[in-house]
Amino acid sequence: VNKSVSTQGPFSSGWGWGFHSYNMIFISTVCKFPLTHLLIYVCYSNLPAKPAEEAQKHRQQYEEMVAQAKKRELKDAQKRKKQLEDRCKLEESIGTAAQTWNQEILPNWSTMCTSRRVRDLWWQGIPPSVRGKVWSLAVGNELNITHELYNICLARAKEKWKTTPAPTTETETEDAGSSDRESSLELIKLDISRTFPQLCIFQQGGPYHDVLHSILGAYTCYRPDVGYVQGMSFIAAVLILNLDTADAFIAFANLLNKPCQMAFFRVDHSLMLTYFAAFEVFFEENLPKLFAHFKKNNLTPDIYLIDWIFTLYSKSLPLDLACRVWDVFCRDGEEFLFRTALGLLRLYQDVLTCMDFIHMAQFLTRLPDLIPAEQLFQHIAAVHMTSRNRKWAQVLQALQKDQERGSPVLKR
């Protein structure tokens, strides 16, 4: 078709405005270009003149489109400015907090770690630059593991890898691990590929693959009675991101030596039931309606708690949020793991009360990708960890005694 471009305005005779307006809207929407930058018109000299009424209508449509585009651009610019301001404030607060931790708290750790001021700073989240150091100090090293011991365990693991034939199937790997705890060295290779796959740093060829492999392998030789259990790779990976290799191993071994973690990783069924029963005491105390709804639908804590506890939330929550949970967990111990669980249930109780068993189980075993950190911590703070004037440790101890006496409550 022979076309010529005219110097007339877009509302004069012979302009194919209707066709081009749709194209401009499409380009602006799909390509995200500002509409005001795309108002280019082509005049077809062989088209008849527009009626005045239609030209006026098109002029009005055009002006409305330009006004909407400018309004949208202004709104987007304000949003970007707000995001930039918030980011600058966050970076400034993190820098100030890091300076406080480095210059005031860490040099005087033994005298300041339990102060109200430090506890408040702790709750707000430890700056990433000092997080590993604080975690190491808070977790401690009751096992007295040295860097030399780590190297010895790693050497044993490497020897074991040389002498253990690689399994051909996943089933064979799991069977080998069950018959010989140290053979779970091979299960590690399989599980590493499933550790934070979205980060692409722990998988084969990634910068932290060998480090993660080494720590998990060394642990199976350090504690052959425990071996490797699925979920450990996530805990080790979080530590690797915050600590040097040997220090990550020391923190890893000491974390897993805590009563709650040891109960779960050694699959001590009776003690796990005790922890679940203690959790339900505080669940009913804090969220009676949701607790009754769970009971009505036979949704037991093991369905969602096991994965949360095994990985210390590092698999279930966004990584930055999981690290904030770890911050307070290192301060408060196992109680905070169950308090976090109640905080999550409290955050989503309105959604959960409208669900049946299947949908609740699916929701809790695959939490939303975007969880507002401040809202979650507000809900965690609102959870009261006292029941009939008894704290978590007292409730757990009482239930353990009931377990020893063979209480029917704990035999389910």
Residue 385's nearest CA partner among 334, 325, 351, 323 is: 334
What is the mean predicted confidence (pLDDT) over 278-304?
97
206, 222, 254 — which closes off a domain? Answer: 254
Same domain, 341 and 233: no
* In a shared domain, residues 246 and 304: no
What residues make up the domain containing 294? 262-405
Average pLDDT in the 17-25 region? 47
Same-domain check for residues 244 and 306: no
Residue 194: which CATH number?
Answer: 1.10.8.270
Confidence of residue 45 (pLDDT cuts 50, 70, 90): low
pLDDT tens across 198-245, in order? 999 999 999 999 999 999 999 999 999 999 998 999 999 999 999 999
Exposed/middle/buried for residue 250 (C-beta within 10 Å: 0-12, 13-18, 19+): buried
202 and 266 together in one domain: no
3-state DSSP call for residue 85? helix
Is residue 18 one of the residues assigned to a domain?
no
- Residue 189: the pLDDT is 84
Answer yes or no: is 10 within a domain.
no
Do 276 and 307 share a structural domain?
yes
The domain tally of the chain equals 3
pLDDT tens-digit profile of 304-353? 999 999 999 999 999 999 999 999 999 999 999 999 999 999 999 999 99
Same domain, 143 and 107: no
At residue 168, does pLDDT exceed 80? no
pLDDT of residue 173: 40
Assigned domain for 176 exists: no
Do 385 and 283 sit in the same domain of this protein? yes
CB 345 within 8 A of CB 380: no
Of 254, 282, 298, the last residue of a domain is 254
Question: Which stretch of DSSP H or E encloses residue 90?
Answer: helix 52-100
114 or 4, higher pLDDT? 114
Residues 269 and 400 in one domain: yes
pLDDT range class, residue 402, cuts 50, 70, 90: confident
Q: Give the model's pLDDT for residue 7.
A: 43
Residue 155: predicted pLDDT: 96
Q: What is the mean pLDDT of the chain?
A: 85
Residues 250 and 301 in one domain: no
Query: Percent of the chain scored above 70 by pLDDT?
Result: 82
Question: Does 103 map to a domain?
Answer: yes
